[in-house]
Copies of this chain bind each other. A is one copy, B any other.
Amino acid sequence: VSLELLIADEACAAALSDDALLAAMARFEGALARASAAAGLVPAAEAEVIARVCAAARFDALALAREGRAGTLVIPFVRELRQQVAAVSPSAARHVHAGATSQDVIDTAAVLCLRPAGERILVLAGRLGDAAAELARRHGATAIAARTLLQPALPVTFGWKAANWLAPLARSLPGLRRALGEAAALQFGGPAGNLSGFAGKADGVAAALAAELGLALPAIPWHSARDRFARLGAEAAILTGVAAKIARDVSLLMQAEVGEAREAAAPGRGGSSSMAHKRNPALSMLALEAAHRAPGLAATLLGELAPEHERGLGQWQGQWFTLRELFCATASGLDAMAEAIQGLEVDAVAMRAGAEKLAREVGGEAQGADAAMIERVLAEWRAARA
């Protein structure tokens, strides 16, 4: 990951890096050894060797990927891991990965990485919402022209406009939180999915493994039931769009001819490689960029819900990459707009001038329900944050 940071949040990208995934895969294998030991299927001492090696193991992602292309990443990964374990305890090495299947490892590791990445997104969404809430509170009496179909309509208040930004965030932050919670489920079914390799102790091993990893134990494995990832992708795409809505408005308000708000200046921010006089809505640009990519990525996940039989041929194999790109885009947009709204320079004088001009044209200044609506949205935001 390097140039991709142009369009990704770095913290989110780190949580979803190759190394993070490989470490999570190793964590799965270590936890499996312990869970199997707890069920009496693996000697405790050997399980501890496996777990210790897994906790410290390092992998050559490039070499694994090249070999994994022939089938699954897990084959060279497990071979490598077995060798590292065997260097400590040859007898322990036999138990590595015992009873699991490739998809158990990849899916569980993906979930383990998506969880902190999702937490990062929730933090960013919280920051953005708090900043919008602050605007809603502060500008309840700042008149501004409402614009419909890009034409001036009637005067409203800027606080109310900010409440409009906030309301979908107050729904979509909990939306992603719920989807993340539902997706944080262990994948563990073994070769056919029914945990047939555990001599009747499958339920115990599965429960111990889920507990070890801090994941929910699902009713049944989800090798071919990808609805949770599809929902996660949809919620991420929605949050991306919600941030882009704010970016749309900021970039329009920041037009030189409008000049009612602008992103804060900062060293190196919003400049042009060729026009020193420019001040670009560089943060809004990032949020709009992310929103251009999110729907297609979410659609990919929505199109992978019907795999063949017990493990599909091409649906799940790329989902890690699609979710990674989508989460990084979501975080990129939210991070940019959190900063943009926290530092937004509001030109209340210009807003009022535009609103007054409009009021004169349409004759009179009707009283709207701005204040009550702002209060209700703020209450929803407080509930969403809780």
| Neighbouring B residues of A193 by C-beta, 8 Å | 146, 156, 160, 164
Bound together, the chains give a CA A224 to CA B169 distance in angstroms of 13
| Given A160-B194, A167-B225: A150 touches B368 (CB 8 Å cut-off) | no
Partner of A367, one of B161, B200, B225, B273: B200
Q: Does A346 contact B (CB under 8 A)?
A: no
Q: What distance in Å separates the Cβ of A75 from its nearest Cβ neighbour in chain B?
A: 5
Bound together, the chains give a CA A303 to CA B315 distance in angstroms of 13
Q: What distance in Å separates the Cβ of A135 from its nearest Cβ neighbour in chain B?
A: 14
| Neighbouring B residues of A102 by C-beta, 8 Å | 272-274
A202 & B369 in contact (Cβ 8 Å cutoff): yes
| Neighbouring B residues of A190 by C-beta, 8 Å | 274
Chain A: residues with Cβ within 8 Å of the partner, total of 166
| Neighbouring B residues of A180 by C-beta, 8 Å | none
Bound together, the chains give a CA A202 to CA B310 distance in angstroms of 43
Q: What distance in Å separates the Cβ of A124 from its nearest Cβ neighbour in chain B?
A: 14
- Fill in one digit per residue for A184-208: 1 if any B CB lies within 8 Å of its CB, else 0: 0000001111111111101100100
Q: Does A134 contact B (CB under 8 A)?
A: no
Residue from the set A99, A163, A227 with the largest chain B CB neighbour count within 10 Å: A227
Q: Does A300 contact B (CB under 8 A)?
A: yes
Binds B, one of A37-45, A87-95, A114-122, A281-289: A281-289
| Neighbouring B residues of A275 by C-beta, 8 Å | 148, 153-154, 191, 362
